[in-house]
Amino acid sequence: MLTQAPKGTKDVLPTEIYKWQALEKMMRTEAELAGFREVRTPVFEHTELFLRSIGDTTDVVQKEMYTFKDKGDRSITLKPEGTAGAARAFLEGRLVSDALPCKMYYINNPIFRYENPQAGRLREHHQFGIECYGAKDASADADVITVAYRFFKKLGVKNLTVKINSIGCPECRKAYLETLRGFMHEHEGKLCETCHTRLERNPMRILDCKSPICQQEVKDAPAMLDMLCDECKEHFECLKSLLEELEIPYVIDSRIVRGLDYYTRTVFELITQTEKGELTICGGGRYDKLVEELGGPATCAVGFGMGIERVLMLVEQEGIEIPKPRTLDVYVTIQTPEAKLPAFKLCQQLREIGLKADCDHNSRSLKVQFKFADKTGAPITVVIGQDELRNGLVKSRDMVSRDEELFYIGEAAGKIAEQLADIDAEQCGTDY
C-alpha cells in the first residue's frame, strides 16, 4: 500500500521524463506559433462550475467526478476536464474586456475522472488544450484544428484523420431534438435499456450507442446536419471549405456528438488507426454558450483537449523515436581523497559554463566510477589522480575514441568544453 500509487495513477520517472518534456516543447511551440499563451488554473474548482458547464446529465458529472467537501464545508471537485477552469479564469481575470479573441493554452494539466483504468485511460491524466474566446468565424474553428493537426504531423503520426460534425445551435437543435425524439419513440420497443433513459434526457446519445441492435434501429434516424439553421449550415460549410483549402483530410461523422453539454456547432475529433482499431487522440469543438452559462457576457469560444498519456501511447505504438538527451556531459572521477575538492570545484566550473557535470560522491574504486560514468552516458570522463595532482593537471578521456588529453587544472573547464564540442561535431559529421 505504502509503496503503491493509487489505482489509475502513474509516476513518470526520471528515466522517462524526456519524452514528456519533448512533447510539451512541441505542443508549446505549435500553440505559441498560432498566438496562444499559457494559462494555469487550479487543480480543483467549486463543484457548481462543472455542474453548470459540463451539464448535470452527463456521465462525467453523474458518475466520474472526484467531489468532496473541504473543511470549510465547500463542495470541491478535482478538474474532470480543462475547459471549465479556463473559462472561469477568463471571466474572473476580466480578459473578456480585453481585445478579443483571447487565445490561451494549458499544458500538463492534471485531469481526474473516477472510472475503471485501461490502457490510455487513467484516473489522473494530463491534458494539453487550447481555447480561443471571442472569435466567431469558422476560420477560428479551422485555426484550432490546424494547431492539433500540425502537432501530430510534426510528431510523425501517420493515418491521421479529422472527423467533424456540427450539432447546431440551441435554436436549431431544439427542433432537431423534437424530430429525433419522435423517431426514437417509434423504435422505442427495440432500444436497449440505457437508451430508454437517454430518450427524454439526451436522445442524441442514442446515436452513438454501441449496442448493435440500437445501431440497426438508428440507421435511418434524422441527422442534425440536415436540420441545421441557415447560420449554422453556413458556418459548417465554411469550415469544410477551409479544411479543403488547407489540405487537411477530414470526414464528416454525424455520430460524433461528444459527451459534454457545452458544445455548439462544430465538434471534431482527431483519429488515428492502430492495430486495435481507431484511437481518438484529440477532441474538441465550439462552445458558444459556455461563457454566458457561467454568468459572463455572450462570448463565443472554440478549443480542443488532448491527453498526453494517450499521445505517448501512440508514440510507442508507432515506434516514433524521441531523442534521449544525455544525463551528463562530463563525469569527474576521483582516485585519491585529496582529489575530491579539485574534482568538486571542476564540476562547479563546468556547470558555470553550461556543461552538465557531476563527480563521485561515494569514494569507490576508479573502476566502479568509470562504470558509473559509462552508464550516465557522459561522453567525457575526467580523471584526477595522484599523478595529475602532482603536476596540477587533469586527464580528460573521450569515452568513445578512448583518447585522453591532459589539461592544466586552471584552464580545464574551458578545454573540456572545447573537447566536447569537437566530439559532438564529429558525431554530427558521421550521421550525415
Partner RNA sequence: GUGGGUGUAGUUCAGUGGUUAGAGCGCCAGAUUGUGGCUCUGGAAAUCGUGGGUUCAACUCCCACCACCCACCCCA
Residue numbers of the site for RNA (CB under 7 A)? 4, 6-9, 58-60, 64, 81, 111, 113, 115-122, 125, 127, 194, 205, 208-211, 258-260, 269, 276, 280-283, 305-307, 309-310, 335, 364-368, 370-375, 383, 385-388, 395, 397, 399-400, 402, 404
- Which strands make up the sheet holding 404-408, listed edge to edge? 357-359, 330-334, 380-384, 393-398, 404-408
Total number of residues shown for the chain: 432
From 427, 387, 390, 429, select the one nearest 404 (Cα to Cα). 387
Listed in order, strand segments (DSSP E) in 260-368 are 264-274, 277-286, 301-307, 330-334, 357-359
CB nearer to RNA: pick between 43 and 100:
43
Report in angstroms how near the CB of residue 20 gets to RNA at its nearest. Answer: 14
Report in angstroms how near the CB of residue 210 gets to RNA at its nearest. Answer: 2
Listed in order, strand segments (DSSP E) in 170-255 are 250-252
Map grid coordinates 595529475 to a residue.
388
CB nearer to RNA: pick between 101 and 120:
120
Question: What is the enclosing helix (H) or strand (E) of 416?
Answer: helix 412-431
CB nearer to RNA: pick between 58 and 299:
58
DSSP designation for 399:
T
Q: What is the 3-state secondary structure (H, E, C) of 87-143?
A: HHHHHHCCHHHCCCCEEEEEEEEEEECCCCCECCECCEEEEEEEEEECCCCHHHHHH
From 207, 305, 317, select the one nearest 256 (Cα to Cα). 207
Report in angstroms how near the CB of residue 98 gets to RNA at its nearest. Answer: 27
CB nearer to RNA: pick between 104 and 122:
122
CB nearer to RNA: pick between 100 and 177:
177
CB nearer to RNA: pick between 241 and 401:
401
CB nearer to RNA: pick between 219 and 276:
276
Report in angstroms how near the CB of residue 248 gets to RNA at its nearest. Answer: 17
Contact 166, 232 (CB under 8 A): yes
Residue 125 pairs with which residues in a beta bridge? 111
CB nearer to RNA: pick between 13 and 298:
13
CB nearer to RNA: pick between 56 and 237:
56
Map grid coordinates 534521449 to a residue.
324
Q: What sign has the CA pseudo-torsion 139, 144, 149, 151?
A: positive
CB nearer to RNA: pick between 282 and 301:
282
**Whole-Å CA distances, 65 to 23, 42, 59, 62, 82:** 27, 16, 9, 7, 13
Instruction: For the beta carbon of residue 219, count every other beta carbon within 10 angstroms.
Output: 7
CB nearer to RNA: pick between 17 and 119:
119
Q: How far apart are CA 45 and CA 130, in angstroms?
A: 19
Report in angstroms how near the CB of residue 405 gets to RNA at its nearest. Answer: 11
Contact 350, 409 (CB under 8 A): no
Report in angstroms how near the CB of residue 28 gets to RNA at its nearest. Answer: 18
Mapping DSSP to helix (H, G, I), strand (E, B) and coil, where does residue 45 land? strand
What letter represents residue 45's amino acid? E
Map grid coordinates 441557415 to a residue.
230
Mapping DSSP to helix (H, G, I), strand (E, B) and coil, where does residue 335 land? coil
